[in-house]
Structure 1
Amino acid sequence: MCKYRTALPQLADRLFLMDGGLETTLVFHEGIDLPFFAAADQLKDAAGTERLRRYYDRYARLAAEASLGFVLDSPNWRSNPDWGEKMGLSRAELEDINRRGVALMEEVRARHEHENAPMVVSGVVGPRGDGYRTDGAMSAAEARDYHGWQVGIYATTGADMVAAYTLNYVEEAIGIVQAAQHAGLPVAISFTLETDGRLPSGQTLKDAIFQTDAATGSAPAYYLINCAHPNHFAHVLEPAEDWTGRLRGLRANASRRSHAELDAAPDLDAGDPVELGQLYRGLRARLPQFTILGGCCGTDHRHVEQIRFACTGVAAAA
């Protein structure tokens, strides 16, 4: 059941948490061989689904015990037709995996949500290609038609919204927003940034937000930044500029490594959870509209615990 599709509670001025780096947790902490770095592969059987259930339960408890909101992003970042084909899935099997991802989020919500801890179910969309490279870029119309298939599935589930992560060029973002508009779903757009604070396409974050809003009538509910370390982008965020007010979410990497270095790295750089929490606190001091907070590559529950502590003063339970 979609509880919040017509009024997303994270748009109010209260703190919402998100999970950390799902894929890096599965690969490096749990030793799972994820085909094509696709966490949705775990939804194919009961053991994998239980592994995901435990993962999300841990984060949902972090929010619930502190009476904070939580956004349950489904594990479907690589559940579009191109990645499904690489995984050997038929279109029907891929549709089922998208539905299972949302259903699992609804199940976690039913266990942990309470009056002071609203939990939003978000159907996740990822880039058609590699999140770090812009080769094979689509026009906005092509992106709308391509991603419309997955977004349309979410519209028939209990998902409250769609969230698109690790987008590296603006036309794909515009197409996803248009697909969500057609499906009647609220949508959040998250761009990834290089070490210079620009999109991998070379465009500034400011221009990417302006262009997306101009092409869609400012349809995105909000924007996020993900898969970059705060040191890579803090310098481009100017509190006095109107466009930064469109940014409400942050899923940063634990590592200061560039995308190229992360792609080639055989190990996990988990950084320093305490330091990351303090960096989030510093960003929120300058930009208090950052109220939807989680992690990306290299982060796990320790980082989100420290983010929670740094931003609320609520320490982790023993």
Structure 2
Amino acid sequence: MTHAKRSDLPHQSDQMFLTDAGFETSMLFHKGFDMPYFAFFPMLRTVEGRAAMKDYFAQFMETARQNDAGFVLDTNTWRANPDWAGLLGHDRHDLAAINREAVTFADELRREFGADMNVLINGVIGPRGDGYDPSTIMSADDAEAYHGFQIDVLADSGADMVSALTMTNTFEAIGIARAAGKAGVPCVISFTLETDGRLPTGETLGDAIGEVDANCEVKPAYYMINCAHPDHFRGMLEQGGAWANRICGVRANASRMSHAELDQCEVLDDGNPQELGQQYAVLAQLLPKLNVFGGCCGTDHRHVAQICEAVHAA
């Protein structure tokens, strides 16, 4: 599939951009889908799955339209890498087709709901292992080889950019950024943080950003934080530093629970949408370049609407 590249990416623009929110938690808890290994990509090949995704994304894109915002439209590929797909019975040939289909489906959504909007198709890359547990860490070279497979397919399929979400460590992030650089596609690295505001490896966010930038010939376009509550990392942001200028996006959790607690959760903790909106307004004061706003675990279109309202009011 080929299409005209869209206009400016978030880091090249003063425009506000929205993303969706807690996609997997919405499909699991709100829509009632069974999701082995927390993977929704198999549902892309079902009528029910496509209908659920269409209904889900339409609400966020309408919120973006109402706020004159751009939209970063994620592909349903967070788990669509060789290890997780292998557990679900997909080989590499099939996996390449799945990633291509995800980009094609995102383009269909863009054409249906994104007329006259700056909608960017974002090829989503998830961690090779668990998004909360950095117990098995690859070298940067191994990560480049491993994730390069998916990145190449997403880039060849016409994604405007790729984003690595829920990254737990710098080696994997460096490998992904290098693979994206070789594929010629802009790359975003989004780290997940623990309740102390540090990466699961114990590294500070500032050190992690510096390390990735220093080890990549083609640096990531920008960085994000996802899958952590603002209370977990606001104090770290208040300390400031030049690295804070590299952060353009936040996709926070609605819940204040730790990752270990979220893993055991059988009831969705969707927090308080209005409170979360106010917390984003504070984050926008701490991060000079912040213009990408969305959610992660437990959040939905209500939270993103409240974030827009609070950020505009501030």
TM-score, scaled relative to structure 2: 0.96
**Alpha-carbon distance, 1:218 to partner:** 5.8
Cα distance, 1:240–1:256 mapped onto 2, change above 3 Å: closer
Counterpart of 2:137 in structure 1 is: 137
What are the Cα deviations for residues 56-113 of structure 1, in whole angstroms up to 9, with x where unaligned? 1111111112221110011110000000001111222211211111111111111232
**Alpha-carbon distance, 1:44 to partner:** 2.2
Structure 1 stretch displaced more, 43-52 or 79-88: 43-52
1:74-223 equivalences in 2 (<5 Å): 74-115=75-116, 117-217=117-217, 219-223=219-223
Counterpart of 1:281 in structure 2 is: 281
Structure 1 stretch displaced more, 66-75 or 192-201: 66-75
Counterpart of 2:232 in structure 1 is: 232
Q: 1:4 & 1:134 partners in 2: Cα distance?
A: 35
Counterpart of 1:31 in structure 2 is: 32
Counterpart of 1:307 in structure 2 is: 307
Note if 1:72 corresponds to 2:73: yes
Q: 2:241 & 2:153 partners in 1: Cα distance?
A: 37
Instruction: Show structure 1 runs of 5+ residues with no match.
Output: none
For the residue of structure 1 that corresponds to 2:215, the secondary structure is helix
Q: 1:100 & 1:181 partners in 2: Cα distance?
A: 23
**Alpha-carbon distance, 1:239 to partner:** 7.1
Cα distance, 1:32–1:184 mapped onto 2, change above 3 Å: same
What are the Cα deviations for residues 30-66 of structure 1, in whole angstroms up to 9, with x where unaligned? 1111111112121122221121111111111111122
Cα distance, 1:193–1:2 mapped onto 2, change above 3 Å: farther
Structure 1 stretch displaced more, 30-39 or 282-291: 282-291
Note if 1:254 corresponds to 2:254: yes
Counterpart of 2:61 in structure 1 is: 60
**Is this contact kept in 1: 2:244–2:288, CA < 8 A?**
no
**Is this contact kept in 2: 1:19–1:301, CA < 8 A?**
yes
Q: 2:154 & 2:78 partners in 1: Cα distance?
A: 13
Q: Which amino acid aligns with 1:262?
A: L
**Is this contact kept in 2: 1:251–1:293, CA < 8 A?**
yes
Counterpart of 2:46 in structure 1 is: 45
Sequence identity, in percent? 48
Structure 1 stretch displaced more, 42-51 or 179-188: 42-51
**Alpha-carbon distance, 1:9 to partner:** 4.8
Q: 1:156 & 1:54 partners in 2: Cα distance?
A: 27
**Is this contact kept in 2: 1:102–1:157, CA < 8 A?**
yes
Q: 1:79 & 1:130 partners in 2: Cα distance?
A: 13
**Alpha-carbon distance, 1:7 to partner:** 4.5
TM-score, scaled relative to structure 1: 0.95
**Alpha-carbon distance, 1:285 to partner:** 2.1
Cα distance, 1:16–1:92 mapped onto 2, change above 3 Å: same
Q: Which amino acid aligns with 2:52?
A: R
Cα distance, 1:240–1:206 mapped onto 2, change above 3 Å: closer
Counterpart of 1:20 in structure 2 is: 21
Cα distance, 1:45–1:73 mapped onto 2, change above 3 Å: same
For the residue of structure 2 that corresponds to 1:185, the secondary structure is coil
Q: 2:11 & 2:71 partners in 1: Cα distance?
A: 8
Q: 1:173 & 1:114 partners in 2: Cα distance?
A: 33
**Is this contact kept in 1: 2:7–2:118, CA < 8 A?**
no
Cα distance, 1:17–1:266 mapped onto 2, change above 3 Å: same
Aligned residues: 313
Q: 2:281 & 2:48 partners in 1: Cα distance?
A: 37
**Alpha-carbon distance, 1:2 to partner:** 4.6
Q: Which amino acid aligns with 1:235?
A: G
Q: Which amino acid aligns with 1:307?
A: I
**Is this contact kept in 2: 1:126–1:165, CA < 8 A?**
yes
